Amino acid sequence: MPVYTCTTVQSVLSADTKADLAAEITRIHSMINHVPGTYVNVVFHELDPDEVYTDGIPAQPLLINGWVRSGHPEAQSSQLVAEIAAAASRVTGIPAKRVLIVIQNSPAHFAIEGGRVLPAPGEEEAWLHAQKDAD
């Protein structure tokens, strides 16, 4: 269901670090938002040095944008963004001051996966069950 998009300059993250960060984001999202890891997507955009600017000059931030379904309890969203931010620095070694995490959302019924409209937060179990029955 969610998509996390990580944007950095090329060569900042090794192949291993990307895999580790993807695994850690997946673990955290899965735990906090009650979604099996098989529904968590993480992609990386690794841009040229002249394609990334902070304060109008070439820079090397780590920008992570997550899309999640609207309607998760406030405390859950706060925990999610905090844990993703902590993991980003812990896994990559990039200091927190160069890391920006942004969570965006839209209603679950504006998203389709596996041919089915996504469940609203709290209704995951019935949705997943129906999927399993169809397999």
- State which of residues 78, 122, 123, 125 lies at the interface with its own copies (CB under 8 A): 78
Binder of its own copies out of 12, 32, 33, 52 (CB under 8 A): 52
Among 12, 32, 33, 77, binds its own copies (CB under 8 A): 77
Q: Would you count residue 117 as binding its own copies (CB under 8 A)? A: yes
Minimum distance, C-beta of residue 59 to its own copies, in the bound complex (Å): 8
Q: Please tell me whether residue 59 adopts helix, strand or coil conformation.
A: coil
Closest CA to 101 of 83, 87, 81, 79: 81
**Cα-atom radius of gyration of the chain, to the nearest Å?**
16
Kindly state the smallest distance separating residue 122's Cβ from its own copies, in Å.
19
In this structure, what is the dihedral angle of CA atoms 47, 50, 54, 59, given to the nearest 10 degrees?
A: 80
End-to-end CA separation in angstroms for the chain: 18
Residue 42 interacts with its own copies (CB under 8 A): yes or no: yes
Which of 44, 40, 41 lies closest to 18, judged by CA? 44
Q: Interaction with its own copies in 84-103: which residues (CB under 8 A)?
A: 84-86, 89, 96-97, 99-103
Instruction: Tell me how far apart the alpha carbons of residues 51 and 8 are, in angstroms, rounded to a whole number.
Output: 10
Enumerate binding residues for its own copies (CB under 8 A). Answer: 1, 3, 7, 15, 18-19, 22-23, 26-27, 36-48, 50-59, 61, 63, 65, 67, 77-78, 81-82, 84-86, 89, 96-97, 99-106, 109-115, 117
